Amino acid sequence: MRLVTFLARRYVAGDNWKDAAKAISWMNAHGLYATCDMLGENVMKKHKAVRASKRYIHLLEQIDYRQLQADISVKLTQLGLDVSVDFCKENLERILKKARSLGNFVWIDMESSAYTDRTIEMYKFFAHKYGKHVGICIQSYLRRSEDDLRGILSPKLCVRLVKGAYKERKELAFPKKSDTDDNFKHLIDVVLESDAKLLMVATHDEKIMKYAKKRVKQLKVSRKRVEFGLLYGVRRDIQRSLTKHGFRVRVYTPFGRKWLPYFLRRLRERRENFCFSFMSLFHR
């Protein structure tokens, strides 16, 4: 457990917002942007979900007050999706209203496949009203993801592509890394060939990064439409390299005391994640 705690502390910005703000200030000073994740999920009590939504609103206010280059990412189960869809909508809309009023942005995280339909429907519900202030995450290891992505393509779409870190049945998700990687590249093409507003390529896989950069050049896509997303504490050398070549890099920056599910998910579900975690100790 001590080793897990030691490793986790490298990939979580701290127990509270003050710790995270300090880390984000450092990143901003080095040309990096941030996406703040207030750790927590699967909230079953209404008062806890309401409290989480209020904390996210406060977080947006603090980002604005401190003039940080950061947006936020929320998990719908933290906002009460397991309580009811309508209750979750109320909490999410309060956050979106605040983000719009401050000119900021909210990412809707994708959780396990049990929540995929409801998450996409929630995004669709709010996309027309808060289009340039809300985006969604799509997981390339799910077999359904191309259909999901094509169903939400629009000039307002902001999408963060990831591999996926939840354990899923093989009939739902590609069991082989090579198939997930191929699908990731395909989804990159789907977005870049559309008129979507923003694609975030969120991975530490250098082959996929290289592919994305190649396709941006081949398709003559404006770099303003593309960001690269990396996890806090991982491969700062890659972060610097991407920034040097004119790409915006946004660091997924989790904070809070409920770090264990977040951390173990990244180690347990994919063998490559442990390799990234271990090797990153030697790459700064």
How many other CB atoms sit within 10 Å of the CB of residue 191?
A: 25
Closest alpha carbon to 280 in 217, 246, 236? 236
Instruction: Identify whether 109 is a catalytic site residue.
Output: yes
Full 3-state SS string of 14-75: CCCHHHHHHHHHHHHHCCCEEEEEECCCCCCCHHHHHHHHHHHHHHHHHHHHHCCCEEEEEC
Q: Of residues 37, 71, 160, 266, which has the active-site annotation? A: 160
Q: Of residues 71, 109, 148, 181, which has the active-site annotation? A: 109
* Amino acid (one-letter) located at 206: E
How many other CB atoms sit within 10 Å of the CB of residue 168?
A: 18
Q: Which residue has the tokens 């000119």?
A: 103
Q: How far apart are CA 263 and CA 88, in angstroms?
A: 25
93 and 153 Cβ atoms separated by less than 8 Å: no
Q: How far apart are CA 35 and CA 100, in angstroms?
A: 16
84 and 122 Cβ atoms separated by less than 8 Å: no
Q: How far apart are CA 195 and CA 98, in angstroms?
A: 27
Q: How far apart are CA 31 and CA 155, in angstroms?
A: 27
Instruction: Identify whether 189 is a catalytic site residue.
Output: no
Residues 6+ apart with CB under 8 A from 22: 14
Q: Annotated active-site positions, please? A: 109, 160
